Amino acid sequence: MPSSPMSKLGRYEILEELGKGAMGVVYLARDPLIGRLVALKTFRAGFSPQDQELEQFRSRFMREAQSAGILSHPNIVTIHDIVDEAESGVCFIAMEYVRGSNLKLLLQQPEPLPFEFVVSIVSQVGDALDYAHSRGVIHRDVKPANILITAENKVKITDFGIARLGSSNLTMEGQLLGTPNYMSPEQIQGREVDHRADIFSLGVVLYEMLIRRKPFQGENLTVVTHRIVHEPFAPPGEILQRLPQGLGAVLARALEKDPARRYPAASALAADLQRLVRAPLPAAAGPAEPDDDTAATQEIPRPEEETPAPARGIGPALRRLFGRMRSPRGLLVTALAGLLLVAAVGLGLFLSGDRAPAAPVAPPAPAGTAVASEVTRRLDAARRLLQQGDPTAALGEVVAAEHLRGDDPVVRQVRHEVEEAIQAQRRTATLASRIAGGLAAAREALERGRPSEAKIAAEAVLALAPDQEEASQLLADAERRLALESERRRAARAVPPAPTPAPAVPTATVVAVVTPTPPPPPVAREGTLSIDFFTEVPEGVLTVYADDRQIVREQFRFSKRTGFLRSEKQPGTLHYDKQLPSGRLVLRIYVAVPGQPTRAVSVEGEIAGGGRQALRIRVSPDGATTAELH
């Protein structure tokens, strides 16, 4: 085992260096508290916070831990610990140590992957993604290098470094995050992204596992991204003839340009693939004529047993791959090839051929009346589960009915209803999360004596749910407190009238000629507030209150085009001139920056009638806001 110049990192004992890249090193380490082996993924020590590019990488690095840290699933690599010491520059994640390889390395082997093995990978990745999506986490970078496969054919997905929590907006217009070959059209175009972007990426991975090439290729990034957004993928039957019938339709739905027409969940994609595994075998003779929808021909021959043997053809590839990992040198080479969670040697089950079996083949379907009865029973169960609010379980019943009679219009209609229910359930969960966050923000603002912030948060909730009772109460409370504050300020500004002098007692009669004086010019009752706003954060919302009156609210995005379908964020400025009543007032400034809490900045000053005051607002790269009144 190669020696390492570092013996400890935090409390962890360094055992071996597994891989090294531009941004850091991956170590095999031991947690002395419980004796557990972990993989330590480190960020390069000694970076300067002024280096914006490195700081962006560090932020992505920490988001990986924060995103994956809330997830606990057998098909997701577990995050055990996170250390971020800004003073010393030490930054690392302690994560589950997986013995195995990744799908990218496996695809470099010459043997084709059996269809049952491909379906198993998609099913396990789909389970992990559906779980993450249900927790509001979108992976955004599903690709073979991030799919780990253990010696027992257990699949784990890793690298949530650009994942996005559904309740926050960590991405900005024009920011190209992800691996371009596996990105969805909406990611490339910088549009709003939801869980269906991961389903598109999983469809690309499925295509590559079967065809050994990507569905959208080109000589450079511009061509690749253009084809993903605008052009159809090459039908698989035109490239490889020995594929299951119906696979083209599955790929077409997974790779839809329009997210609304894709599979609503990764489990639905996996279910359709399982149906192809269990479908009757086509004739093994020459290639069939491709139809317009699928362009698919023949299915790969399968074993005849009810429970098939382990997938054939995978053993030699994995034996070679894991064979290179027997020595520490081979392990390091594999790590340098791109495995973030590089694993140790684990050959026992592969060399003995004792691998996890592929999905079992369903028994032959009953005929005639029995088939109709079973289809009816499955559809009734699906409808019952829908009424009980469990559309995911209902989808399983519909898939079972499709295995028996997939061309039945009633089955298709029920499937449509189930998919609509799944989409509605996801929308409801997202809405509930946003409402709960807004209510919590409004309550906290009131508790801290910030009624203006509470008013903004409550109004945002009511924009989502106009009948939300608690939001209405919080808004009324905030407006009542703002009115009291405004009344107190008006009372403080009020000037008492001058006393009326007592009438003078005449002592003598005086005759004089009095020249009338001209009346004084009218006093101006308003002044001008000139607002100059400069921000180094390119996206957000600016809101300004003068006492209890909102005078500015504007959403801003600053970027410049740098190439085809790409733009670069940049600082920006805004300017406003506002007429305000003369007198003393309090200005409150709110700058909402994606991914950061919104805090008020307050300044007080005097607006002179007919005069001009300047309010200068500045936002630094880290989102800190300052304001000065001159």
- Lowest-pLDDT choice from 43-52, 218-227, 516-525: 43-52
Lowest mean pLDDT among 160-174, 551-565, 580-594: 160-174
615 has pLDDT over 80: yes
Tens digits of per-residue pLDDT, 466-484?
889 999 999 999 898 988 8
Q: Among the listed ranges 143-147, 249-253, 425-429, which one has the minimum average pLDDT value? A: 425-429
Does residue 301 register a pLDDT over 50? no
Contacts of 580 (CB under 8 A, 6+ apart): 526, 527, 528, 529, 546, 551, 607
Backbone angles phi, psi at 256, to 5 degrees: -60, 140
Please, which pLDDT band fits residue 268 given cuts at 50, 70 and 90? very high
Statement: residue 365 has pLDDT above 50: no
Going by C-beta distance under 8 Å and a sequence separation of 6 or more, which residues neighbour residue 142?
125, 129, 157, 182, 198, 201, 202, 205
- Average model confidence (pLDDT) for the chain? 75
Q: How confident is residue 261, by pLDDT bands cut at 50, 70 and 90?
A: very high
Give tens-digit pLDDT for 88-99.
Answer: 667 888 889 988
Catalytic residue among 141, 159, 198, 272: 141
Residues 6+ apart with CB under 8 A from 59: none
pLDDT of residue 325: 45
pLDDT in tens, 189-229: 888 889 999 999 999 999 999 988 999 988 888 889 999 99
Residue-level pLDDT at 51: 59
DSSP 162-218: T-EETTS----TT---S-GGG--HHHHTT----THHHHHHHHHHHHHHHHSS-SS--
Mean pLDDT of 119-144: 91
Indicate the DSSP class of residue 424: H
In this prediction, residues 109-116 reach a mean pLDDT of 88
Residue 502: pLDDT band (50, 70, 90) is: low
Q: In this predicted structure, what is the pLDDT of residue 1?
A: 41
Looking at domain 526-629, its CATH architecture is: Sandwich (2.60)
Whether the Cβ atoms of residue 57 and residue 118 lie closer than 8 Å to each other? no
Is residue 77 pLDDT above 50, yes or no? yes
Instruction: Mark residue 28 as left, alpha or beta (left: phi above 0; alpha: psi -120 to 50; beta: remaining).
Output: beta
Q: Would the pLDDT of 526 be above 90?
A: no
The residue behind tokens 């010459």 is 110
Of 366 and 565, the one with more pLDDT: 565
- 467 a catalytic residue: no
Is residue 437 predicted with pLDDT exceeding 90? no
Instruction: Determine the Cα angle at 226 with ends 221 and 231, to 5°.
Output: 135
Identify the band that residue 137 occupies on the pLDDT scale cut at 50, 70 and 90.
confident
Q: What percent of the chain shows pLDDT beyond 90?
A: 22
Indicate the pLDDT class of residue 453, thresholds 50, 70 and 90: confident
Q: Grade residue 63 by pLDDT with cuts at 50, 70 and 90.
A: low
Range of weakest confidence among 59-63, 93-97, 156-160, 423-427: 59-63
DSSP secondary structure string, 386-422? HHTT-HHHHHHHHHHHHHHHTT-HHHHHHHHHHHHHH
Strand partners, 8: 13
Residue 46 has pLDDT above 60, yes or no: no
Cβ atoms within 10 Å, residue 283: 9
**Euclidean distance between CA atoms 581 and 527, whole angstroms:** 6
Residues counted in the chain: 630
Extents of the domains making up the chain: 434-489, 526-629
Beta-strand ranges (E) seen in 3-55 are 8-9, 12-20, 25-31, 36-42
How many whole angstroms separate alpha carbon 589 and alpha carbon 453?
A: 10
Are 585 and 546 in contact by the 8 Å Cβ rule? The answer is: yes
Whether residue 242 has pLDDT greater than 50: yes
Per-residue pLDDT, 319: 53
pLDDT at 627 over 90: yes
Name the β-bridge partners of 622.
none
Specify which of 9-13, 242-246, 427-431, 447-451 reaches the highest per-range mean pLDDT.
9-13
Q: How confident is the model at residue 393 (pLDDT cuts 50, 70, 90)?
A: confident
Band of pLDDT at residue 408, cut at 50, 70 and 90? confident
Quick check: 58 pLDDT over 80?
no
pLDDT at 461: 87
- Pick 464 or 108 by higher pLDDT: 108
Q: What is the pLDDT of residue 465?
A: 87
Selected residue with higher pLDDT from 298 and 629: 629
